[in-house]
Amino acid sequence: MDQFAIGVDLGGTNLRAAAVSASGQMIEKIAAGTDLTQGPERVVSDICACIESLRDRHKNLRLAGAGIGVPGFIRMAEGFIVGSHNLPPLNNYPIRDAIEHRLGTPVVLENDANAAALGEKWIGAGRDVDDLVLLTLGTGIGGGIISHGRVLHGFVGMAGELGHLTVVPNGNPCGCGNAGCLEKHASATAIESMANLLALGEHLSAKDVYDLALQGDERAIRLFESVGQALGIAIAMLVNIFNYPLYLMSGGVLAAWDFFYPALEKEVRWRSFSYRNTDTRIGKAALGNEAGLYGAAYLPLQAQKAQTA
Amino acid sequence: MDQFAIGVDLGGTNLRAAAVSASGQMIEKIAAGTDLTQGPERVVSDICACIESLRDRHKNLRLAGAGIGVPGFIRMAEGFIVGSHNLPPLNNYPIRDAIEHRLGTPVVLENDANAAALGEKWIGAGRDVDDLVLLTLGTGIGGGIISHGRVLHGFVGMAGELGHLTVVPNGNPCGCGNAGCLEKHASATAIESMANLLALGEHLSAKDVYDLALQGDERAIRLFESVGQALGIAIAMLVNIFNYPLYLMSGGVLAAWDFFYPALEKEVRWRSFSYRNTDTRIGKAALGNEAGLYGAAYLPLQAQKAQTA
């Protein structure tokens, strides 16, 4: 009987789930909404309903388990989310055990960017390497580090918080308590904030700023160079720390790649001896916003492999 | 027959070697000078003489091999040193194979700070953890990362270059090509350079600056706070990246711990959510300048264990 697993991507607004075969084929994908107003039990119930629905429709396959990607810091041992701004009712709630208990199948909880990094390693832009770093460039910036083919967790589960690397020591204030975090200088939100500082227009979205750059607006073009510099400072440090072969980026900000990448690459070249002297690759992730679904589904499959190895 | 290994610490001036038992007891230690004027063959010959001398005097023990810690970037596969400012004649010379061929015993080449980090993990301040980061604060700043009990190498062998983390984006220029590297803001050399900028005195050493701080000189005290801030920015990033339980520092600059640590800790607390919310420890390494000898000796022992596991 062939195996499959279910990957769940839980966001503050959207809830998505996918059935993925053990060889990495997406079998079926479903979407629902996240309702945070009724407390954590309701979220758990909705997640279970998605998983059960996929399980029931694929009874010809054996379910290895479910992986759930969530925004926020994870305490792996406890199966808790902590410090999530997008899912405040779930903070410190035993979400993993609640779902596992109701479904009777193994459940792995993971940070969403970590899950996306694992998806890229499994069947995406990183499938030819064992070690990579992923930056997800959206409204915030997440990070995932894959070391020897597995998510790097640290001792609690909070590793890979790359959006909170300090790239400007006294830069823009961040909700994490720091100032000058990468995500306050290179996320979509940071792009909108910079557009506002430059008085480029009223309530511009990052997409509007990108359109201005396309039209040749010098200030918008310069803004994306600044985004590239911030990313370059961070990636140069990651290269100097890890000497991994591959650094990937994903997320909506990638649309502006041609405007920010030259400044990024120049910064990394300048700041990293090992980048200049090795075949280190910096590139785009391949799986778009499905990386997290693939990676979440791979978590129980990988855990099973490790047990039987 | 009990086993032992030989650890070598090759510096630009000094050459040290030690016989260490498989259980981590230092059996004998010898010291010689490094003569770079006669080319790489002479250095190889001196290293081999040290190893042979220790081997011959401990024939009652079985030699597992030799580990050699060197300043500079390592290409692990080739057994080369590259980009070393302290050992220029050895750059790109096949030093590992030359020594291995002459001695007929396994030889492992390693970056000196990586070797020190492994020594601290084996029998030093990190013996109770599997994952740690070490910063060596000397004339420069080196770094070593221990992941699952082993040195993190990256794909070429250049991982852990923590002295080249950017802590001041347009800060002091560095020989690596970057500006604002940690080692240009927190090493003994950086302390001397800042003392010169402050006109604290003529040709002051880092030790002289420390003595001024001890005497209550406000500018010298402020200088060490600045050192602590630079180290704190770097360590906060390492905590956010790795979420490892332990961050160690070693080297001569540690003498000024009481002057720089409060600023360092304040900076890490500010800049790292996961530091504030976990039992992350920052502390002093335990083995002084013998960490590199212990760690270098442990390299062939660890390689042997991995083979027989």
pLDDT in tens, A225-249: 999 999 999 999 999 999 999 999 9
DSSP string for B110-170: EEHHHHHHHHHHHHSTTTT-S-EEEEEESSSEEEEEEETTEE--TTTS----GGG-BSSTT
Q: What is the pLDDT of residue B308?
A: 80
In total, the C-beta contacts within 8 angstroms joining chain A to chain B are 144
Note whether B154 contacts A242, CB cutoff 8 Å.
yes
pLDDT, tens digit (0-9, with 9 covering 90-100), for A183-218: 999 999 999 999 999 999 999 999 999 999 999 999
Q: What is the pLDDT of residue B86?
A: 86
Its pTM stands at 0.96
B6 with B54: CB under 8 angstroms?
yes
Which of B164, B168, B174, B275 to mutate to probe the A interface, most A CBs <10 Å? B164
- H/E run at residue A70: strand A62-70
Structure tokens at B9: 């610490």
CA dist A30 and A53 (Å) reads 9
- Does the CB of B173 have a partner CB in chain A at under 8 Å? no
Looking at residue A260, its pLDDT comes to 98
Whole-number pLDDT of residue A83: 83
A183 touches B at CB < 8 Å? no
Q: Report A:238-297 residues touching B (Cβ under 8 A).
A: 238, 240-245, 270-274, 276-278
The two beta strands, B107-111 and A281-284, are: unpaired
Q: Do B166 and A241 touch (CB under 8 A)?
A: no
Report ipTM (2 d.p.).
0.96
Sketch out chain A's domains with CATH numbers. 3-117+289-308 (3.30.420.40), 130-285 (3.30.420.40)
Quick: pLDDT tens for B52-85. 999 999 999 999 999 999 998 899 999 999 988 8
pLDDT at B83: 83
**pLDDT value at A309 more than 90:** no
